[in-house]
Amino acid sequence: MLEHLLRSRITRIVCHITILALLCTLAPLPLATRASAQLMPTYSVAVVDFINESGVQGELLARLATDAVVVEMAKTNRYDVSITRAMIKAEMEKLGLHPPLSKLELVRLGEALNADAVLEGYVKAVQLTGSGETRRAAVTLAVQLRDQASGEIINGAVQTGTSSARMGYVPDDDSLIVEAVNNAAFLCVKTMIDYIIPEATVMMNIKENHVMLNRGSRDGIKPGMRMIVLRRGEIIGYVEVQRVSAIDSDARIIKSMRGIQPEDKVRAIFDMPVVSGKTESETIPSGAPSGVKRKSNTLSKIGRFVLAAGIIFGIGQIFRPGRGSEPAPTIGTGESPTVITWDPKKYGHGQNVLEYQILRDDFTDTAAPVKVIRDPSAIDMGWTDVYSLYGTATATNVTYYRLASNPATSYTEVTATVPAEPYGITHKYQVRVLYSLTTTTPGSSSDQQTGGQQTTTTRYYYTPVSNIITATAIEPVRYTDIISPAYDPNAAPPEILVTDLQNGTINFEWKRKDGADVYYMVVEPVVPGTGPTWQSPYIYETGPTVSLPANARIELANVLSNSAYADKTMRWRVYCRHQEDTSPAWVKGQEARFVIGGTPPIFP
């Protein structure tokens, strides 16, 4: 039975597709495309398992269609589909998500996977027509690419793939459906590749609820097109294009969550083709064409293949060398530069784990950690912050378990001292896990020491160290660090005349922070909608003070110069970071305030 299964045609087809998908994921081959006037961006895409709405073959066909589309996407230079099904499944379990996923759930999943977009798809219809040599299959797929930040559809396709008739050969329905799925997947991805997602940058604000974009009809911008507005990957609003020229366009602000401003990015929302209702699928007939011996249906064949694969996988798991040689943890970054994250589901959700050890700069087996996490609930949180190690006047004592060798039959609890250290020093961090492994050996009646009793042995292991994270503990820019305009939260905010800001009589200036070498500043109204929102360009400065460059100062003065903003209270804060840190996170400064003073001049 097993030999017949492994030799069947459907088994070979599915194996070929699986092998090709793996190869394309490991070494994606560029697909030759037509020359374009602009370099197309590469999107990191998480492909969730498709939904089968055809009523034919259930999840097995949905999985086959998913893999076929992933294979086609991996051949292109537009999509990075290295986020695997296992990674997606793990994140869904972590977030408590179950298919089918809603728009919000897809956004959450894409954010957790750090993907630019999420692709979902549907098997809409399966049809089989004809008989004998003229028998054919047609499969309709619908795929839609959703932007991770907004959940809006930015690309998609609905295509029907068909199998080809071959004279002198009578294929089974399995082969016909697989061929039709592959062809539909190819057509869907080709349609998406041919569509260039219109993107643009906000050049300037026009009036109060309009903006000018730096792209026009030459770049695919069309009147009536709806677009999302992004700032550093975060959605901040929606616009609708109204006037279009060859090189630029004007758009009306439909919704603004944080104030749309120059340099914000906009991306078109895709108008997904409509598939009318749920397309009826022809039921695969139970009888074979006249004179032809009908093979077993696709469901039974694919089902037997999956069953065989599961058996083989299970046997492999039984003989897997596994625990006792656990892999190194993989660590990441969090919401601040000094946050270190890990997958709490690893090592059996922490079973038999004694502690996580955070190492700094020294990564040998004998190295003492600078922080230890033992509490199972803290381990299950999946993160820790080493920020508290810095800026203190006293040293920190860390108690940890040390192994004399790796592995060892026992451990020793020791205490190490982490010296006091100021803010601003860059370090490299790695994580290792200390865990135990207990084995039981059956006793022998001839063994006089055990008397035939079974023996239990416990060994302790360090995992290999994780990947390296570079991090710098940086103090936020507080209002006490502000030089100009000086701010005291217990007093009235200072008044700033736009003319003084224009001619440089006054400027925004603050003390540098140790370890920070790049800054930017954000200004926004205290009462939303009463003033503009503005962000400075990055300011690269190492001290001793940092201030707005002249061009940024003049730009801010022009933004504040609208007479409607007179006497309005604004708040501003400074963000900073160290450029070599692994984390892209910025240290958020304290809020300071000022009032736009007098009646600013009205510019024509």
Alpha-carbon distance values, 380 to 338, 352, 375, 436 (Å):
19, 13, 9, 18
What's the pLDDT score for residue 423?
95
What's the pLDDT score for residue 494?
95
What's the pLDDT score for residue 55?
81
Alpha-carbon distance values, 16 to 68, 185, 506 (Å):
11, 16, 69
pLDDT band at 249 (very low <50, low <70, confident <90, very high): very high
Is residue 276 situated within a structural domain? Answer: no
CATH, residue 222: 2.40.10.340
Q: Do 175 and 103 share a structural domain? A: yes
How many CA atoms does the CB half-sphere of 399 hold within 13 Å? 3
Q: Do 171 and 306 share a structural domain? A: yes
CATH, residue 99: 3.40.50.10610
What's the pLDDT score for residue 9?
56
Q: Do 11 and 305 touch, CB atoms closer than 8 A?
A: yes
DSSP 8-state class, residue 131: -
What's the pLDDT score for residue 133?
75
Higher-pLDDT residue of 174, 547 = 547
Higher-pLDDT residue of 283, 465 = 465
Q: Do 251 and 115 share a structural domain? A: no
**Cα–Cα nearest to 488, from 480, 497, 496:** 480
Is residue 230 situated within a structural domain? Answer: yes
DSSP 8-state class, residue 294: P
Cis-peptide into 171, omega within 30 deg: no
Is residue 87 situated within a structural domain? Answer: yes
- Residue-wise pLDDT for 70-126, tens only, equals 999 988 888 899 999 989 999 999 998 888 888 888 989 998 999 989 999 999 999
Q: Do 234 and 146 share a structural domain? A: no
**Cα–Cα nearest to 251, from 231, 232, 265, 271:** 265
Range of the domain at 176: 2-197+299-310
Q: 103 in helix, strand or coil?
A: helix
**Cα–Cα nearest to 427, from 583, 219, 203:** 583
* 437 CB-contact burial (10 Å; exposed 0-12 / middle 13-18 / buried 19+): middle
What's the pLDDT score for residue 18?
58
What sign results for the dihedral spanned by CA atoms 138, 309, 79, 227?
Answer: positive
Is residue 294 situated within a structural domain? Answer: no
Higher-pLDDT residue of 319, 224 = 224
- 426-441/469-472 β-pairing: antiparallel
Q: Do 179 and 120 share a structural domain? A: yes
Is residue 459 situated within a structural domain? Answer: yes
Cis-peptide into 494, omega within 30 deg: no
- For a pLDDT cut of 70, what percent of the chain falls above it? 81
Q: Which residues lie across from 575 on neighbouring strands? A: 520, 588
Q: What is the mean pLDDT of residues 462-491?
A: 94
Q: What is the mean pLDDT of residues 264-276?
A: 78
Q: Do 500 and 468 share a structural domain? A: no
Higher-pLDDT residue of 227, 441 = 227
Q: Do 420 and 455 touch, CB atoms closer than 8 A?
A: no
Distance between CA atoms of 489 and 276, rounded to whole angstroms? 60
- Residue-wise pLDDT for 351-405, tens only, equals 789 999 999 999 988 899 999 999 988 888 889 999 999 998 789 999 999 999 9
- Residue-wise pLDDT for 59-68, tens only, equals 889 999 999 9
Does residue 30 register a pLDDT over 80?
Answer: no
Alpha helices in 127-203 (DSSP H): 173-194
Is residue 319 situated within a structural domain? Answer: no
What's the pLDDT score for residue 604?
47
Distance between CA atoms of 69 and 51, rounded to whole angstroms? 13
Distance between CA atoms of 19 and 24, rounded to whole angstroms? 9
Q: 347 in helix, strand or coil?
A: helix
* 348 CB-contact burial (10 Å; exposed 0-12 / middle 13-18 / buried 19+): exposed
Token pair, residue 80, equals 């990075």
Token pair, residue 463, equals 């995992």
**Cα–Cα nearest to 459, from 317, 323, 318, 319:** 323
Does residue 288 register a pLDDT over 80?
Answer: no
pLDDT band at 204 (very low <50, low <70, confident <90, very high): confident
Q: Do 240 and 210 share a structural domain? A: yes
Q: Do 518 and 391 share a structural domain? A: no
What's the pLDDT score for residue 23?
52
Higher-pLDDT residue of 76, 508 = 508
Task: Indicate the residue among 472, 504, 523 that finishes a domain.
Answer: 472
Mean pLDDT score of the chain: 82
Backbone angles phi, psi at 236, to 5 degrees: -125, -5
Token pair, residue 26, equals 């490991």
Q: Do 534 and 510 share a structural domain? A: yes
Distance between CA atoms of 356 and 190, rounded to whole angstroms? 47
Token pair, residue 424, equals 């601003």
**Cα–Cα nearest to 56, from 126, 152, 128:** 126
Does residue 350 register a pLDDT over 90?
Answer: no
Is residue 98 situated within a structural domain? Answer: yes
H-helix or E-strand spanning residue 546: strand 545-547
DSSP 8-state class, residue 38: S
Q: Do 181 and 33 share a structural domain? A: yes
As for how many domains the chain has, the answer is: 4
Task: Indicate the residue among 310, 343, 362 that finishes a domain.
Answer: 310
Q: What is the mean pLDDT of residues 9-18?
A: 57
Other CB atoms within 10 Å distance of the CB of residue 335: 12
Q: Do 486 and 466 share a structural domain? A: no
Q: Do 250 and 239 touch, CB atoms closer than 8 A?
A: no
Across 132-141, 362-371, 439-448, which has the greatest mean pLDDT?
Answer: 362-371
What's the pLDDT score for residue 100?
86
Q: What is the mean pLDDT of residues 229-256?
A: 88
Is residue 23 situated within a structural domain? Answer: yes
Backbone angles phi, psi at 175, to 5 degrees: -65, -40
- For a pLDDT cut of 90, what percent of the chain falls above it? 49
Task: Indicate the residue among 447, 472, 497 that finishes a domain.
Answer: 472
CATH, residue 524: 2.60.40.10
Alpha-carbon distance values, 588 to 118, 149, 259, 508 (Å):
30, 21, 19, 17
What's the pLDDT score for residue 19?
56
Q: Do 342 and 431 share a structural domain? A: yes
